[in-house]
Structure 1
Amino acid sequence: MNTLFPIANQFATAITRINRLGNGLINDTYLVATQSSFFVLQRINRTVFPAPEKIMVNLTALNQHIAQKVSASVRLQIPEILKTADNDVLYLDENRDCWRALSFIVNTESIDAIGAVSDAEQVGYALGHFHRLISDLNPLILHDTLPGFHIAPEYLKHYQHVLQRSIKPIRYCAEFITRFRHIADDLEAAKQQGLLSLRVIHGDPKLNNFLFDRHSKKIVSIIDLDTVKPGLVHYDIGDCVRSCCYSAEPVGFDLDICAALLKSYLAEVGSFFTEHDYHYLYPAIRLIPFELGVRFYTDYLEGNRYFKVTEPEQNLQRAIDQFLLCECIMRQESAIKNMIVRLKQ
């Protein structure tokens, strides 16, 4: 960690301690302590985000938009951007690595699994509140920081290209993808037909990107905003439901957690949700684990280039788990659709 002190000193003085923070699969994140406070230091993965400056433009626009809201109507804290001594939002080190610093939301914690229905209610509320706060932010003023992100048909095309030169295809994964490849275009086709509108999305609202107050157990912040960009809110909803309703050993999908999350979410977004938005909730919930499974499996076939792994077969197991989750969701299609109808009323 000593090598990080000169980098952290670009953003603050009197650094006393630096520790790794979180378990993200993309960026390297550290908690920096100074004599008076804490802040978050991140090395942006330029393989994934080749244009870090576009991320920071988006974050600035997001923060400015929310800052214009009546303060009493804003229930989420968005991390502030900290600048270097030279008044820059990014720092490029001697290795050409790109670093940025954000404020640290104190007295909070993230969780990796839903412990109670109240946790799911909080997550649904927080995601819905975030979407409502930015529902009047023009998506066209934001950069697309990850072109192709969440565009399932493109992931499928890339997988097929990789598969042609692969020497180790796994039968279960290959057969699952072939059998259900038709669902990959569900949301993109609806967008192209004008049934779903382009909006500003978080892009990666998995469970551990919500910060709970340690005392009240209410969510006070949403983090990991590098993927904020124009998109379909259904990608956010599907990914959030996927991460919250997943249960392991054996893999399953928790309907009660899903109901609690969607109820709180829909209570926040009802003012701008359309009939088509409601109709495509189930396709979104079904699609995201399929999409993520394709991405994990493709990365495994390519030698684990994108997602961090601690062992060679980790991305393969991740892919299998997502496909099993997708199967669980499809077995409960009627129950999920009926739930959405009830929540809409």
Structure 2
Amino acid sequence: MIEKVLKAYGLEYLECEIEPFGNGLINQTWKVSAKSGKYILQKVNTNVFHSPQDIASNTLKIKKYLDRVSPQYLFIAPATTTTGLGVFEDNEAFYRLFPFVADSFTVDAVTEANQAYHAAKQFGKFTRILEAFNPHDLKVTIPDFHNLSLRAEQFTLALENGSQERLKIAKWAISQIETFSWIADQFKELLQENSLKTRVTHHDTKINNVLLHVGSGIGLSVIDLDTVMPGYFISDVGDMMRTYLSPVNEEETSLDKIMVRHDVFLAIYKGYMEEMRRSLIFREQELFIYSGQFMIYMQALRFLTDYLNNDIYYPVSHGEHNLMRAKNQITLLIAYTKSEEYFKQIIKEYEADLEISSSKIISN
């Protein structure tokens, strides 16, 4: 199969070295070393992305725009087949080929604040340079992906129709989700008030979706553009909060290891705001901290809903897997919310220092 795919891109299978690459849970990925260079080959998971052609269409539109307005920006667009297509289809399987960026690497977890800073800066830059691009020109690759109102409705249905046994087992998690229901209520209000501007949004801002430079650790570009579509900045910032702040991820079962690293929060704020400060309206800037609550709560909600529905969406390795994931995210949400006043103080002090520094530059 891979032989046929490579041939579609003008590569000779027998002349290529092929090896599995990365540990992504959605798409199957290989690194391909050929005479003409190195590439990343992916098989698109059509169970998640029902229309891979939409992803290819979005990427092509963005590439054409960036080639015109910001040609120096490193945009990792897929190569085209010998027939000029952005995705290769064979027996309802879809593949795409990307150039491998030399002297780059990714990390799977934030181990130091500097990594969070460079990642946040890259995600902010990506949205900023596409500010004049009409986000509604993009196809929606996963409908309602970050629609918290829909997730809340699905949770309510799970409470009514879910497993009675699991409803009893998940009593603590359910009560916590209901305690934090104000987060979903606020999201609904924000939409009614038109407080959030629709932008080109990445929607999957995990640290391993940023290329870092091997020598300096500086961010080079964002990758994994499958979920790039119209959205709100709280999705991107919130997902960084959800996946960067704690030293352990959503699979951690020892809840006492879950914590919020304040230096990482500041790094996210600095990196993102350096790029997006002039783009975010005042009300959006006020929602910077809320973005973390928005995404952490939604993920906890999704895990718990899936548990109550007998695990119909997320792959699980045991019967309590999704419940454990939900408890993990609820614990993170509690820690995050307890840090809210400290976050405000961090932002206030940073902005004050920034204003002083700017005044000195102007005076000189």
Same fold (TM over 0.5): yes
Q: 1:188 offset after TM fit, Å?
A: 4.2
| Alpha carbons of structure 1 residues 71 and 4: separation in structure 2 relative to 1, 3 Å | closer
Q: Distance in 2 between matches of 1:311 and 1:103?
A: 38
Structure 2 counterpart of 1:327, from 322, 334, 337: 334
1:296-330 C-alpha deviation (Å, 9 max, x unpaired): 22233444443344555443332221111101011
Gaps of 5+ in 2: 249-255, 353-364
Secondary structure of 1:225's match?
coil
Task: Give yes or no for the alignment of 1:133 onto 2:133.
Answer: no
Aligned: 1:107 with 2:114:
no
- Residue 71 (structure 1) shift: 4.1
- Cα 1:61–1:179 change in 2 (3 A) is same
The one-character-per-residue Cα deviations of 1:165-198 (angstroms, maximum 9, x if unpaired) are: 3222322322221221221142342133122211
Query: Equivalents in 1 of 2:335, 2:93: separation in Å?
Result: 41
- CA drift of 1:14 comes to 1.9
Partner of 2:142: helix, strand, or coil?
coil
- Quick one: which amino acid aligns to residue 285 of structure 2? Y
Q: Write out per-residue CA displacement over residues 202-233 of structure 1, whole angstroms, 9 at most, x where no aligned residue.
A: 11111111111111211112111111111101
Equivalent AA in structure 2 for residue 58 of structure 1: N
Distance change >3 Å, CA 313–CA 131, structure 1 → 2: same
Equivalent residue for 1:296, pick from 279, 295, 303: 303
Match of 1:192 in 2: 192
Report whether the alignment pairs 1:19 with 2:13. Answer: no
Amino acid at match of 1:160: T
| Aligned equivalent of 1:29 | 29
Please point out which of 90, 93, 98 is paired with 1:97. Answer: 93
What TM-score results when the alignment is normalised by the length of structure 1? 0.91
Query: Match for residue 216 of structure 2?
Result: 216
1:1-345 pair list within 5 angstroms: 3-15=1-13, 16-71=16-71, 74=73, 77-94=74-91, 96-167=92-163, 168-169=166-167, 170-248=170-248, 249-345=256-352
What amino acid sits opposite 1:284 in the alignment? S
CA distance in 1 between counterparts of 2:150 and 2:331 reads 22
How many residue pairs end up in the alignment?
339
Identity of aligned residues (%): 26
Greater radius of gyration (CA): 2
Q: Secondary structure at the match of 1:227?
A: coil
Question: Which residue matches 2:252?
Answer: none
- Unaligned regions of 5+ residues in structure 1, if any? none
C-alpha distance in structure 2 between counterparts of 1:66 and 1:340, whole Å: 32
CA contact (8 A) 2:116 2:207 kept: no
